[in-house]
Amino acid sequence: QVQLVESGGGLVQAGGSLRLSCVASGVLPYAMGWFRQDPGKEREFVAAINRSGSSTDYADSVKGRFSISRDNAKNTLYLQMNSLKPEDTAVYYCAGAAFSSRRPSSYNNWGQGTQVTVSS
């Protein structure tokens, strides 16, 4: 199974930006997604993208602020996060699936996560 490794998380002030990366040890799965999770809460859909990048989907809470993209030649998935808010604080996970979906159960390949903390 392809290994997924996230990076790019950190501490940022509200209104700031971060760019997350997810590097695959092999070919990126057909569909890729970003999810986030706070302790004690369910894993939440953030964004998804299809194989070619021609189709993207965003949670309402991040639409217009976050942008998902992929570079298949580099086996890398990205999440550009702008205008960050304290409520964006969470561990962010990348995941791979056979088809694009908002449901975590549709994804069978997960990274270890990267912490994003937004201070007010």
- What pLDDT shows up at residue 1? 83
Please report, for residues 14, 22, 48, 89, the alpha-carbon distance to residue 119 in angstroms, rounded to integers and kept in the order given: 6, 24, 26, 8
pLDDT at 27: 87
pLDDT value of residue 29? 84
Residue indicated by tokens 């990366």: 21
**Average pLDDT, consecutive stretches of 10 residues, N- to C-terminus, the chain (120 residues):** 95 98 91 95 96 96 98 96 97 95 95 97
Return d(Cα 16, Cα 82) in angstroms, integer. Answer: 6
CB 79 within 8 Å of CB 57: no
Determine the Cα–Cα distance for residues 76 and 103; give it in Å rounded to an integer: 21
pLDDT of residue 59: 98
Given this model, what pLDDT does residue 90 score? 98
Instruction: Quote the distance between the C-alpha of residue 51 and its chain's center.
Output: 15
Give the per-residue pLDDT at 69.
98
CA dihedral (33, 79, 53, 44) positive or negative: positive
